[in-house]
Amino acid sequence: MDMQKETQQQRLEFERQEREKDRLDRESEREERRLEREERRKEREVQAKLTGSLLQHIKQNND
């Protein structure tokens, strides 16, 4: 009986560890996506500033 109980406890612990691993994986993937979104946002900001600067330069040269 003790052996069966021990085996059941080991199985439950294994399942708990698997759930924790899955949770950490999902958390890591969410953080990675957040960082990618932030990087794209910064790239768009830089592109917008460069475009604005270029347009201003062109306008000044046309005046």
What's the full length of the chain, in residues? Answer: 63
* DSSP state for residue 24 in the 8-state scheme: H
Q: Is the pTM of this model over 0.95?
A: no
**Taking 90 as the threshold, does the pLDDT of residue 53 lie above it?**
yes
Spell out the long-range contacts of 54-59 with Cβ–Cβ below 8 A and sequence spacing 24 or more.
none
∠ CA 46-49-54 to the nearest 5 degrees? 125
The widest CA-to-CA distance across the chain, in whole angstroms, is: 93
> Which tens digit of pLDDT belongs to each residue from 12-30?
999 999 999 999 999 999 9
